[in-house]
Structure 1
Amino acid sequence: MTDETADTERLTTREAAERLGVKPETVYAYVSRGQLTSRRGASGRGSTFDAREIDALVRKGRREPPGGGDTLQRIRTGITLIEQDRYYFRGVDAVELARRHSYEEIADWLWTGTLRAGIRFTAPPEALAAARRAVGALPPASGSADRLKVAAIAAAALDPLRYDLDRETVLGSARILVPTLVDALPTVGRARPGDGPLAPRLWSRLTPAEADDATLRALDLALSLLIDHDLAASTLAVRVAASARAHPYAVVSAGLGVLEGPLHGAASGLAHRMLAEVLERGSAAAVVADHLRAGRGVPGLGHRLYAGPDPRAEALFDALSAIPAARAALTAARAVEAATARHLELRANVDLALAVLSVSSGMKAEAGETVFAVARTAGWIAHALEEYEERPMRMRPTGQYGGPRPPQPLPRP
């Protein structure tokens, strides 16, 4: 007796691919995204698929509008679900996943559906050398976002296969790009081996302070928690770029460009400066009052997707509470939250938690943005892989024109 029943039609991988109108590799991409389930064939070799699931997926694709309309409001994704003040990667609690596995393990699992314990991302010497030269040529006042964008461009120029959007080729580029972004940044602390875990290598780019196991674990946890968060602004830019079939390096560059905004990836820098001021002045209430008096929001508080606490912040706060050097900054962050709560129902978000990490570790204000960008690169690649399987150029909304009606006279000098 096999696990295949007589009343259910089973399809081979090739048959499923033909019915869907995709390559066999794409069928397994649907499996990794949770859109299809597979079973071993009766012979024990190969996979089989439920024909009803395949047909349902075909029908779902046909219902999607051919272009324009509400395409941007109907982006299907199997990566992140945010529900009831929790968030999940492919149905798995993201916080628990981050507590049990490293950033690289989670990133690779998110891309492939297979968890490989101990996986390491290593940059090829040629790509890394080119990225370091490009970063080194920037003016001294350049920020981390500038360095990351330049490193991505340099790495792309050294990858002759970047225009090949076959799934395995894109995965190869992703495993090159992530470590290149980290290792191309200038070192300010004790250099770490380029074939070791990513978190210690990034730490040496963020602060000259020595790190113990607890602080490195907190940094790796932050990276893991920030891998993806549904269709954030930078991720939407990534999906649009991938829809136009931009290569993975260009896709990540699109995300980096949006992430630099003060309302997105750079928000942690504002929280860092506020927290440093609280520690200097010794009064969270006074600093909060100054922000509100100036008509500014209080950085690091509130998130429109969570009615309660941001689970990413709570997980990172929990890890930081075990680090003695972080206790003063953590106390200050909680004081900011409490002072604001007297008038506004706002809870700490992940930007404030990142600020606790950066302030307590002697990092610059932009360090949180760097952590955010490196972490989110893995999520952007996951979204690009999804979008590459969709119809090209589907994200072409029609603008609602509000200018003067024609005909208008030609302009005169």
Structure 2
Amino acid sequence: MTSGLDDVVAAETVLSEVDGLGGHLTIRGHALRDLAGRRDFAGVTHLLFDGFFDDLPNEKTLAARLGRARVEVFERVKPLLPALAGPSVYDGMRAGTALMPDGDTLEDALRLIAAPAVLTPALLRMRKGLDVVAPNAAAGHAADMLAMLTGTVANRELAAALDTYLVTVCDHGLNASTFAARVVASTQAGLTSVALAGLGALKGPLHGGAPGPVIAMLDAIAATGDAAGWLSKELAEGRRIMGFGHRIYRVRDPRADVLKTVVRRIGPEGAAGRRLAFAETVEQAALETLKRAKPDRVLQTNVEFYTALLLEAAGFPEEAFTCVFAAGRMAGWIAHAREQQATGRLIRPQSRYIGPVPDLVA
């Protein structure tokens, strides 16, 4: 039996392919590098949904309907925000998402995509004692997220960077959360049930919870002033270097390069520029340290490293990084759910019992 289901093909999909040896990510027939920064998140959502909703409108109309969905979600959850702000931001966002109708229409799908985008800024502001900011249906999805977070019109460069991030993480093969979503979809459950399965899997530190510790690592290294020494000590004590290595990629994660380029555009000067320059120094030290310590393994920079820098620059606190990840991945989960329901069977793998055997002979 293959541990962790490595190399087991559990589904056929037209949505995305992860080429771990070549370092390529394909989404609906397009290389990631040809989508990121060239088609906005609503446009890529349209690409993912194409063929899975009979009433799918054109890209412009879909973007407008996504804007209206943000407003609808806000009105639905606004009275409940004080209660949702009590748990962690992620738990509050997940609980708020659970309030969406568990249907399978395009409107249901758009509300689910809107939910983390609306709930995350609102809960962050409430936890600071600030008034929540209503969404603007006419704004772009990423720009509206930032406006709801800061209370001001989004900086154009930051909005473009966040939009590229959402595109970059919208789908990535049959990862843990997407597989969980497809399992639930295979039972013919509604899309909210699918979304909650994805959110549950994404919360784990080995999946969507990984970018946050990158910031803690950078801060710790900055405090010591000795990147190589700090990294070597972490490895000697059996801890992971966050932002490096990937279960699938045996070369550099292509999403890391996309996000690195975006981060460079945000602020080549000032605090953001200094932070990036320092991170690049840490990245190089980490790659060298990992190569010396683990010469038999390929541990290249992954998407988590520059995700952390981008979301920090956009103003999201570390505790909300996974929420923003969910805001992008939700579109992929829904597309996979619709594909599974249209083309797949109930997912019911076998297990091998290895416990004690009772005496069944009387």
- What is the TM-score of this pair, normalised by structure 1? 0.73
1:91 and 2:34 are equivalent in the alignment: no
| Counterpart in the other structure of 1:339 | 285
| Counterpart in the other structure of 1:182 | 117
Pairing 1:309-388 to 2, within 5 Å after superposition: 309-324=252-267, 325-345=271-291, 346-388=299-341
Pairing 1:217-228 to 2, within 5 Å after superposition: 217-228=160-171
**Correspondent of 1:402 among 347, 354, 357:** 354
Deviations 1:344-391 (A, max 9, x none): 243221111111123334431123212211100000001001001134
Structure 2 distance, partners of 1:306, 1:203, is: 31
The structure with the larger Rg is: 1
| Counterpart in the other structure of 1:199 | 142
- Checking the alignment, whether the CA contact within 8 Å between 1:278 and 1:332 is kept in structure 2 is no
> What SS is found at the alignment partner of 2:17?
strand
1:269 and 2:212 are equivalent in the alignment: yes
The alignment of Structure 1 onto Structure 2 pairs a total of residues equal to: 329
CA drift at 1:399: 1.1
Deviations 1:79-103 (A, max 9, x none): 0012221111111112221210111
Structure 1 distance, partners of 2:73, 2:289, is: 52
- Checking the alignment, whether the CA contact within 8 Å between 1:337 and 1:348 is kept in structure 2 is yes
**Correspondent of 1:112 among 50, 55, 62:** 50
Equivalent position amino acid for 2:279 in 1: A
1:246 and 2:189 are equivalent in the alignment: yes
**Correspondent of 1:389 among 327, 335, 342:** 342
Change (3 A) 1:180 1:281: same
Please provide the CA RMSD for this pair.
2.8
Deviations 1:154-182 (A, max 9, x none): 122xxxxx34x4xxx2x221112211332
Equivalent position amino acid for 1:144 in 2: V
- Checking the alignment, whether the CA contact within 8 Å between 2:70 and 2:114 is kept in structure 1 is no
Structure 1 distance, partners of 2:165, 2:74, is: 24
Equivalent position amino acid for 1:348 in 2: T
1:128 and 2:74 are equivalent in the alignment: yes
- Checking the alignment, whether the CA contact within 8 Å between 2:311 and 2:321 is kept in structure 1 is yes
Equivalent position amino acid for 1:103 in 2: F
> What SS is found at the alignment partner of 2:240?
coil
Change (3 A) 1:209 1:303: farther
1:74 and 2:19 are equivalent in the alignment: no
| Counterpart in the other structure of 1:146 | 91
| Counterpart in the other structure of 2:296 | none
Structure scoring higher RCO (CA < 8 A, sep ≥ 6) equals 2
Structure 2 distance, partners of 1:143, 1:212, is: 27
> What SS is found at the alignment partner of 1:73?
coil
- What is the TM-score of this pair, normalised by structure 2? 0.82
Identity of aligned residues (%): 32
> What SS is found at the alignment partner of 1:344?
helix
> What SS is found at the alignment partner of 2:290?
coil
| Counterpart in the other structure of 1:155 | 100
Equivalent position amino acid for 2:280 in 1: R
